[in-house]
Structure 1
Amino acid sequence: MIKKTIQKVRWTPSLRAPGTRYLLITATLLTGLLALTAVESWQQAAQSPLVAACVAALVLLAMLAVQLGISQRLVRQRNLELKRQIADQTIIRASLARSEDRFRSLFERSPDAVWILDQRGFSSQANAAMLEAFGFSDAAAFKNISPLDLSPPLQEDGTPSAVRAAALLAAASEMGVQRFEWLHRRLDGRCFPAEVTLSILDLEGEPVTFAVVRDISKRRQAETELLRQKTLFQAIVDNAPSLIYMFDPQGRLVLCNQLYEQVVGRTSSELTGQRRDDFMVPADARQQNVHDSAVLSTGQSRRFEDIHHDAQGRAITYLTTKCPLRTPDGNLLGVLGISNDITRLKETQAALERLAHYDAITGLPNRVLFHQRLSEAIRLAMPHDRHVAVLVLDLDGFKTVNDTLGHPTGDLLLREATVRLQRNLRPGDLVARLGGDEFAFVMPVHRQPEEVISRLPLLLACLQEPFDLEGSRVLITASMGLALYPADGSTADALLRHADTAMYAAKEGGRNDYRVYQRHMTQHMQERVSLEHALRRALENQELEVWYQPKLSLADGQLAGAEALLRWRDPHAGLVSPADFIPLAERTGLIVPMGEWLLDQVCAQLRAWRDHDRFDGHVAVNVAVPQIERSDFADTVTRALQRYQLPARLLEVEVTESLFLESRQLARSVLGRLQAMGVTTAVDDFGTGYSSLAYLHLLPVDNLKIDRAFIQELPHSPTHMAITRAIIQLGHALKFRVTAEGIETAEQYEFVRQAGCDVGQGYLIARPMPVADFEAWLAQWPAGGMIV
């Protein structure tokens, strides 16, 4: 039943078709015709008009049925095509609707302000961003607004907005899309720069203007800031005290600063794109290219010291740092160079190097360089078993020249002495100034050490000729000490130390001579060092004593005072001779604290004697040259007198004649202050100095003490007798009191007394004695008594 129903449904449309109906009618007629003629023969039927008519009708109906079937099929096909077209149109409409929705969504949601103008140039549509950009809250208010309504009268370049807008619209109509910057004005009147993209579109047959407006205020600010930073950077680069430049990997100049332009002598526009060979000295260009290649090959920053020649051809030394420059993605841009002019620094370094290794006065190597050269000479001599001689030379009397004629004259003397010494050098010899008036030599020995020793008298002789120092004739000598490698030492320090020891031996032997180092000299030096340590200990441990030697008036034999003498009582060795420790104290500077101690002890003793009415005479104190030179001696005396409340007349200060030769101005100043205080001043050992008579009358001195060397030969040496009388007469002529020291015989006493000498002292009168013995001597000495 279900199958029949389905078949009926399937065939129903076919049966309703016109062509099918005509075919059925034709089939029915044909069937009837065949039934009528069934009884008759076919021939008879064929001749029958009715049959013919029926056949014709049947054919006609058949043709009509076929035509109708074809038409039916065509109509059916057309209907199907129309259905498909209708379905496609439906899809297209839906797609267009979706596209319109998407466009509308994009239009509304676009972050850029989008504006559609009609053919009259007025706003027809605008998105939310456009409204916000111009400060509108209602879209209806934006209708029929012209872009000129939202623009200032003039653009940033001064062009009227209307004129420029017309030109831009014309260009957009002719060429299509136009992109430009425009100054817009918001509803509140504030202006802002915008980037406008303008295009003319045909919308439903009408031209419309489509505009995208992008606020570029922040971009302008960023560009302004970038330009400011660029300008600042360029100003920094151009004003930097360094050459700043960049070359690309092919060696062409990319950029440079003003200082680079000045050095090269061309502008950056002339230099850009050129290779170094085009504007540099060839040697400089090659050197720079090699440095660039090293940086490019390693990819690392490098530092070089190189030389550039500027536009005037002057050689300038630069310290250059070069580094490769790359883009963020690693592409090589070139080599950046920063060069600092270190010419003056190099000159300063050379000067410092010279100061560090050469003497500023003589130009000779100094102690540091001498030590280096000596060590080098030892190193070279060692493999070949050769000798090296080290000589230390010290100028005798240099300090006197320096102090009497001034330091500039002393410096001139050093230079003149250097010239003479250099004239006596052989090739390979070296002379250096170690400091002060001390020189040192390195002398390679080619055969035997005697060849160097034989040259030493020549070195001494070359300094014995007078020096003409700007009108002053100066005579000096030298003391020298020689040490030999390897016999006297295998190191520079040992050789120099032993040569110095030998030099001091020459000085102690009388000066103007040389000594070759011997081992016993070191022992002697060590003994002297030990003595120095012991002397320091003596000062700390109160091992020093003050002894007193009386002085008599030669006219009446009365006590004229006493001289305080320093003595050292070593707890192990007993009394040490002043001749052993006083010179050592002077050389080491210990004489200054020792002298202050002596002065304090004398003033304390004078105070005690006055308090007990035992002695009221004056006491003379010997003062060494270093005490005057290295301390404020006058203040020291003042403090001592004040401390013990003593009148200044009780103190007499004795200085040696050498003080006036070595420090004349200082001596006059100090002794003058002492005289003004009331302290008596005296020159000890007078007559042993040089040229003292020329300025004796200028000295602030009260007494002269004739040196014991003249007294010892009296009265048997006519020469010494004449000298003694002359000194006494000279002293009296200059209003000085004269004292004879070292009187040991009655004949000497009588001679100086009759010669008019004022005061005498010596072993004949009394030896130096400790305080207790001196007080006992005072007690038994008869007042007004005579020695003979």
Structure 2
Amino acid sequence: MANLAQAGHNQSNCALHGYLGNQDSECGSQHALSVLLVEDNPADADLCQLYLREAFGLNLDVFHVTCLAQAERLVEQQRIDVTLLDLGLPDSSGVSSVVRLQSQAPDVPIVVLTGTSDTQLGVDVIRKKAQEFCPKQSLNADVLMQSIRHAMERHRLQTQYSRVLETSPDGIVVVDRNQRLLYINQSGAKLLQLSVPDDIGKRCPPRLLPSGRTAELVLPQARMAEVRTADLDWDQAPATLIAYHDITDRKEAEHKLQQMVRVDQLTGLFSRSHFFEHLDRLIAWAQREAATIALLFIDLDRFKYINDTLGHQAGDYLLQQVGERIRQNTRASDFVARLGGDEFALVYTGMEQPGDAAYMAEKLIDRFRAPIDIHGSQVGIGLSIGISTYPHCGRDAQTLYSGADTAMYQAKAQGQNHYHFFSEALQEQVELRLSHEQAVRRVVQDKRLSLVYQPQINVQTGQAVSIEALLRWPDDDSLGLSPAQFIPIMEDTGLIEQVGIWVVEQAAEQILALGHQIGRPIRVAVNVSMRQLYDERFFDQVTEVLRRTGLPADQLELELTESVLMDDPGRTRDTLEAFRRLGVSIAIDDFGTGYSSLSYLRRLPVNVLKIDRSFVVEIGHNPESESILHSLINLAGALGLRVVAEGVEHPHEHAFLRQAGCDELQGYHLCKPMSMANLTDWLHRQGDG
């Protein structure tokens, strides 16, 4: 029986150490449990040691002292696993003994031995940092072992919780109902500039306390914190836990982002988005004060030429100097913004009469007569300024902006260095434009656009060798917009990319079917806008259309205007080269209306030149134009380019172009644009199929 009892004790001891996380592979490898017994009653001390031996067997070291002073000295000299503490000692009594010993050895759990069964006393001593209490009247080996186990486990958990709080990056503070500090962790002390333990027990400064459950507070050293609170019991008294999460870096990043949105990064002026926000506020102010304000929309003359000639870096520097010169010649109360590209805006406040805005426009134009030095080069730049006023031209930001924009284009049409006021006639144009834009969006959404086709005739054979696909407004729509009206709207609104690839797909499907009907392949030409050409998806979209429809790439021709090709030649060349490798041919439409030269075009992967109708109508009337036509046709032929003359409407034009060596002709004299069904019949009558 004794051996079984001893084995049970050893198992209990192993279980205790294993529960506390101190057990190695075998129980025998553990150090003995070290117990400090603080008891001045010899009988109680002997009984406790008896129960300890019964509970833990030989794997136990007991250090017995009779007063608190001896205990305080011993814990400094000896490793102790747990303390059994009597509350009635010669030099200390009650819960103060717990406080003193815990302060001396905070890492040692305490089991209080009480001479009474008063549970309230047990609660009080645990509140004072003890981990367990055990009434002497109910003491035995099992109770003592359970009390020690509970005390050591509770101490371990308390240590972990304390470590979590102390190592938390957030500031943690506990205050009572009178805002006195009960607890503060290291992060909290640093964040709030408080001291531990000096400030414990003192009132927390009101500026550091939130007014609600959540708040954002400005803390010492201009730190920002997101603060949350929660109610809790602290030593059985109501208290509030406050968590301070430092958001200073986040707030600084948000501020920088707002600044980037509000300020144009190139010029330091206000940005386009902030311009509209501030214009709304200025209009609200003008409405309250019955004041008048003017919006000056400023566009630079010749900027594109300067940017292309001197390079983008010089162009950026020029924009910076322009922004600074505008700012220097306006008042502090005026609002100046860069809207994008070479467009600027000035909101002129406190205006008494329209002449004030005209004076400001004249002043700016005059200041820009002096050239701007760009790294040693004297560059002249002009201004075109459109002016709209509140409340005469509009009562909201968008209307004022649209009016000033329209007026600016009127000023630009007059030449460099002009300004123009928005007028009632211009207002009508704006309203008409908005009406047309809504109609275009509706027609595109409803998929009501259609295609017609106009042949291009070989001069020598008279046979249609290519068909141009042309977009048309629906016949049943009373608005009856022409392509010259609705296509620019599509380009401005971004609808052209959606419609453009639809045109390619429809034309590819229909021209492939037409080829099968007439028994020979025929090429289809499709117009491409600048926005389509610069869209990174366009090449892949065209490739996918060819794959899906089965149309060979050499039966597709893309027509681009001369101005589109010359807007960004480097970027254009890369895109066109990709299409050339695919097998798609490239035609320059309206050639002669821009500023490119044949020598430059020689470096672009171009297959066809389409001579603009403005030259064709001069045949028989202007010998100089006829000479230019001869030269264009001869030079294009020398460069291996096919030449198509468009807009041929009279027999004498036909005869001249044939004699001049033009390859193909297109125009009403030969054939008008028609539906695919009518085109099929026309080709059959011409001998196809």
Same fold (TM over 0.5): yes
Q: Is the 8 A contact 2:643 2:664 kept in 1?
A: yes
Q: What amino acid maps onto 1:675 in structure 2?
A: R
1:236 is aligned to 2:164: yes
1:430 is displaced (CA, Å) by 0.6
224, 238, 254: which one pairs with 1:349? Answer: 254
1:454 is aligned to 2:359: yes
1:544 is aligned to 2:472: no
Q: What amino acid maps onto 2:156 in structure 1?
A: R
> Does the residue aligned with 2:336 lie in a helix, a strand or coil?
strand
> Does the residue aligned with 1:672 lie in a helix, a strand or coil?
helix
1:241 is displaced (CA, Å) by 1.3
Q: Is the 8 A contact 2:262 2:274 kept in 1?
A: yes
Change (3 A) 1:679 1:468: farther
392, 415, 419: which one pairs with 2:324? Answer: 419
Change (3 A) 1:629 1:213: closer
Query: 2:611 aligns to what?
Result: 706
Q: What amino acid maps onto 2:337 in structure 1?
A: A
Change (3 A) 1:474 1:656: farther
Q: Is the 8 A contact 1:483 1:495 kept in 2?
A: yes
Structure 2 unaligned runs (5+)? 1-38, 71-88, 98-109, 116-135
Q: Is the 8 A contact 1:445 1:451 kept in 2?
A: no
Q: Distance in 1 between matches of 2:607 and 2:616?
A: 21
Equivalent pairs, count: 589
Q: Is the 8 A contact 1:543 1:570 kept in 2?
A: no
Give matches, 1:278-289, under 5 Å. Answer: 289=205
Query: 2:639 aligns to what?
Result: 734
Change (3 A) 1:448 1:549: same
Q: Distance in 2 between matches of 1:642 and 1:343?
A: 55
Change (3 A) 1:734 1:470: farther
291, 298, 308: which one pairs with 2:220? Answer: 308
Change (3 A) 1:695 1:327: same
Query: 1:444 aligns to what?
Result: 349
1:571 is aligned to 2:490: no
Change (3 A) 1:590 1:256: closer
Q: What amino acid maps onto 2:355 in structure 1?
A: E
Query: 1:583 aligns to what?
Result: 488
414, 418, 430: which one pairs with 1:525? Answer: 430
1:455 is displaced (CA, Å) by 2.7
Q: Distance in 1 between matches of 2:312 and 2:361?
A: 28
Q: Is the 8 A contact 2:286 2:293 kept in 1?
A: yes
1:682 is displaced (CA, Å) by 1.2
1:386 is aligned to 2:309: no
1:654 is aligned to 2:559: yes
Q: Is the 8 A contact 1:548 1:771 kept in 2?
A: no
> Does the residue aligned with 2:518 lie in a helix, a strand or coil?
coil
Change (3 A) 1:415 1:329: same
Q: Structure 1, residues 445-497: CA drift from partner, whole Å, max 9, x if none?
A: 33212211233355567789988889999998766543212222334454345
Q: Structure 1, residues 314-342: CA drift from partner, whole Å, max 9, x if none?
A: x544556799999758699xx98754433
Q: Is the 8 A contact 1:393 1:478 kept in 2?
A: yes
Q: What amino acid maps onto 1:551 in structure 2?
A: I
Change (3 A) 1:464 1:739: farther
Q: Distance in 2 between matches of 1:154 and 1:615?
A: 107
Q: Structure 1, residues 247-306: CA drift from partner, whole Å, max 9, x if none?
A: 99999988654446767999857x568999xxxxxxxxxxx74547x89xx9x9896723
Query: 1:43 aligns to what?
Result: none
Change (3 A) 1:151 1:660: closer
Give matches, 1:113-512, under 5 Å. Answer: 155-157=61-63, 220-221=148-149, 223-225=151-153, 227-244=155-172, 256-259=184-187, 268=196, 289=205, 291=207, 305-309=217-221, 315-318=222-225, 339-393=244-298, 415=320, 417-434=322-339, 439-457=344-362, 459=364, 480-503=385-408
1:726 is displaced (CA, Å) by 4.5
Q: What amino acid maps onto 2:641 in structure 1?
A: F
1:742 is displaced (CA, Å) by 3.3
Q: Is the 8 A contact 2:372 2:379 kept in 1?
A: yes
584, 588, 602: which one pairs with 1:697? Answer: 602
Q: Structure 1, residues 124-178: CA drift from partner, whole Å, max 9, x if none?
A: xx9xx99988769xxxxxxxxxxxxx9979954599xxxx9xxxxxxxxxxx979
Q: Distance in 1 between matches of 2:232 and 2:520?
A: 97
Query: 2:533 aligns to what?
Result: 628
Q: Is the 8 A contact 1:567 1:575 kept in 2?
A: no
> Does the residue aligned with 2:348 lie in a helix, a strand or coil?
strand
Q: Is the 8 A contact 2:514 2:680 kept in 1?
A: no
Q: What amino acid maps onto 1:306 in structure 2?
A: V
1:692 is displaced (CA, Å) by 5.3
Q: Distance in 2 between matches of 1:527 and 1:429?
A: 32
TM-score, normalised to structure 2, is 0.66
1:347 is displaced (CA, Å) by 1.0
Q: Distance in 2 between matches of 1:265 and 1:385?
A: 51
Aligned-pair RMSD on alpha carbons?
A: 5.6
Change (3 A) 1:781 1:318: closer
Q: Distance in 2 between matches of 1:692 and 1:434?
A: 33
Q: Structure 1, residues 46-79: CA drift from partner, whole Å, max 9, x if none?
A: xxxxxxxxxxxxxxxxxxxxxxxxxxxxxxxxxx
> Does the residue aligned with 2:293 lie in a helix, a strand or coil?
strand
Q: Is the 8 A contact 2:456 2:664 kept in 1?
A: no
Q: Distance in 1 between matches of 2:111 and 2:234?
A: 32
> Does the residue aligned with 1:628 lie in a helix, a strand or coil?
helix
> Does the residue aligned with 1:455 lie in a helix, a strand or coil?
helix
Q: Is the 8 A contact 1:113 1:214 kept in 2?
A: no
Change (3 A) 1:628 1:193: closer
> Does the residue aligned with 1:454 lie in a helix, a strand or coil?
helix
Q: What amino acid maps onto 2:390 in structure 1?
A: Y
1:696 is displaced (CA, Å) by 2.0
Change (3 A) 1:241 1:728: same
Change (3 A) 1:232 1:654: same
Q: Is the 8 A contact 1:307 1:317 kept in 2?
A: yes
Q: Is the 8 A contact 2:267 2:323 kept in 1?
A: yes
> Does the residue aligned with 1:621 lie in a helix, a strand or coil?
strand
Q: What amino acid maps onto 1:238 in structure 2?
A: E
TM-score, normalised to structure 1, is 0.59
Query: 1:685 aligns to what?
Result: 590
Q: Distance in 1 between matches of 2:397 and 2:539?
A: 45
Give matches, 1:24-63, under 5 Å. Answer: none
Q: Greater CA radius of gyration, 1 or 2? A: 1
Change (3 A) 1:134 1:350: closer
Structure 1 unaligned runs (5+)? 1-111, 137-149, 165-175, 182-191, 198-210, 277-287, 310-314, 784-788
Q: Structure 1, residues 713-760: CA drift from partner, whole Å, max 9, x if none?
A: 456556645644543344234322233333455665565555544334
Q: Distance in 2 between matches of 1:662 and 1:644?
A: 32
Q: What amino acid maps onto 2:566 in structure 1?
A: L
1:684 is displaced (CA, Å) by 1.1
